[in-house]
Chains A and B, each alone.
Chain A
Amino acid sequence: MITDTLTVFSRELRPTLRNPFTIIISMVQPLVFLALFAPLLPKTDGGALQWFVPGIVVMSCLFGASMTGSNLLFEIQTGSHERMLVTPLRRPALLVGRALKEIVPMFAQAALIVLVCLPFGFDLHLGGALIGMLILAVFCTGLGALSYTLALASKNQEWLFWTVQQTLLFPLLLLAGVLLPLDDGPGWLRTLAAFNPLRYVVNAERALFSGDVWASTTATGLVAAAVVGVLGIAVGVRAMRRSD
């Protein structure tokens, strides 16, 4: 099972390693927000950037991992998914290997965002940030698995994949308080946001990126990420077992 997962993982990662520039593609939007939205934030001696950057790191992971199913969708259409289904590779490995691969571009993107922001007075607390990355790794593995599930369900209907992905993406993003704080929002909005696991992940990342490792938000963030991770893998493995 581990060998199978590694085989799938390294196959999935190879095009990215051969052409690292592709990592940037799913980062275009987060970078645009960073460049054009961050300057609008109130100037409170670098505090705004400190608040905004962890959100952008999460956003870039959200964009990347939610789109990743499109790779599988394409392989379903071209036939290489079918070819892999006929090999002795175990079905769960076909999903888990792919989902775990999400962690690599996620790390690269986070590092890139942080590097870009350092000259502008972003204060990096490496220990906290690394724990934050671990939480995010769990989250994006689960999200990636869900994206693959959507691809398996969409099969040849590419529009279905993109419609669902785009429809869910922005509500998730806005209800996580990535761009603006939710604290001053109306009650109903905050209630909705309370059901959004991404919100807890974002809060945890903010605390961790500021070096506040022992905050309770870290624990809730980890739990939220773990829920997404376990749910994503469970649903995804089930879908992969049924795939033909």
Chain B
Amino acid sequence: MIETRGLTKHFKDVRAVDGIDLSVRRGELVALLGPNGAGKSTTLRMLTTLIPPTAGTATVAGLDVVKKQREVRQRIGYIGQGNGAGHSQRGRDELISQGRAYGMSVRSARTRAAELTESLGLGDVIDRTVSTLSGGQRRRLDIAMGLIHEPDILFLDEPSTGLDPQNRANLQDHILRLRARHETTIVLTTHYLDEADSMAERVIVVDHGRIIADDTPERLKAKHVGDKITLGFATDEDAARAARKQGGEAYGRELQITTEQAPRQVLEIVDDLRADGLTPTEVEVTRPTLDDVFLTLTGRSLREGAA
């Protein structure tokens, strides 16, 4: 559905996007993860025809984003960082005029608007002026607007930024349900680690305009960081003896082991140690976060960048 070759965007001296090769198949849910200024939004803006690339090519639904702008626009839905609905407008009016913009008849736009209003839980507020809606309601209205024409591909730029945790969860839920029902291809950008982790089957880590990793969240974590098993012992000597048997590093009465599949391995390790007469008093398994992945890859924490 999406193919890019050496996609590049320079703003004066800044290389915002620096040669991105990307391939997204139909039905995938992909998250572009990276700190502010990494080039996520700029990539999205090129894919959605908002800005032309400085170099490289990109096709969306098989159509060139520079040569076939109108055709690309007809096939995609875009939910930007701001509010798509005009603040002085009423929600339903905006949904219908959005449908008209995609060439739908007033009648079918009206029907579709009613469906979306229903499925996004906007029934009570859809006829109110947009400026009177809460942040979460406005965001759901934006989603409805992006979906009015049932696009093949949906792009979301930081969909949950500025929402409280409850509204974020609610929004993620809506996006996932939508996908389950229509098999829409979804590309979203985020700097929320948990969002990328819980929603996407594929996370593309972007930094300084380049892709630095691209895999499922589980494989990214296993490959770049690994799990950590921490075992507590009664004495320092026990910990040191356990370290000699099982590897890892002993720190006082604790032993730390880095591995790929901690939840399964920890059982074997404990059994082995017991057989040797060394029974751990405490066991803790720590699985890495995507932030740990980012930290390993770049030496920086995403949380600093996001703050």
List chain A positions with a Cβ less than 8 A from chain B: 3-4, 7, 10-11, 14-15, 18, 71, 74-75, 77-80, 82-90, 244
Contact = CB atoms under 8 A, between A and B. Distances in A.
- Report, nearest first, the 5 A-B pairs whose CB atoms are least far apart: A79-B82, A83-B84, A87-B101, A86-B78, A11-B97
A75 B86 contact: yes
A88 B70 contact: yes
Given A79-B80, A82-B80, A82-B82, A88 B102 contact: yes
Contacts of B80: 79, 82-83, 86
Contacts of A86: 48-50, 73, 76, 78, 80
21 contacts: A3-B103, A15-B89, A18-B90, A71-B88, A77-B82, A80-B83, A80-B84, A80-B94, A82-B80, A83-B78, A83-B80, A83-B84, A84-B101, A86-B50, A86-B76, A86-B80, A87-B101, A87-B102, A90-B70, A244-B45, A244-B51
A77 B81 CA distance: 11
Contact of B88 (A7, A15, A82, A88): A15
Interface residues of B, number: 32
A7 B48 CA distance: 21
B49 A11 contact: no
A242 B89 CA distance: 25
Interface string B92-103: 011001101111
Contacts of A84: 101
B87 interface: yes
A106 to B, nearest CB: 19
B86 A82 contact: no
A74 B88 CA distance: 10
Nearest to B148: A87
B85 interface: yes
Nearest to A18: B90
Given A75-B86, A86-B49, A88-B103, 16 more contacts: A7-B97, A11-B94, A14-B97, A77-B82, A78-B82, A78-B87, A79-B82, A82-B50, A83-B78, A83-B85, A86-B80, A87-B98, A87-B102, A88-B74, A88-B102, A244-B50
B145 interface: yes
A89 B101 contact: yes
Contacts of A90: 70
Contact of B85 (A14, A74, A80): A80
A79 B83 contact: yes
Contact of A79 (B49, B76, B81, B100): B81
Given A11-B89, A86-B49, A79 B84 contact: yes
Nearest to B81: A79
A140 B142 CA distance: 33
A78 B80 CA distance: 10
A71 B101 CA distance: 19
A4 B51 CA distance: 21
A11 B100 CA distance: 10
Query: Which residue of B73, B79, B86, B90 has the most chain A CB atoms within 10 A of its CB atom?
Result: B86
A87 B87 contact: no
Contacts of B97: 7, 10-11, 14
Contacts of B84: 79-80, 82-83
Contact of B82 (A10, A11, A80, A89): A80
Residue from A71, A80, A85 having most chain B Cβ neighbours under 10 A: A80
B101 A88 contact: yes
Contacts of B81: 79
Interface string B177-191: 000000000000000
Given A83-B80, A86-B76, A7 B51 contact: no
A78 B83 contact: yes
B231 to A, nearest CB: 52
A3 B106 CA distance: 12
Contacts of A18: 90
A74 B86 CA distance: 9
Nearest to A71: B88
Interface in B24-51: 45, 48-51
Contacts of B76: 86
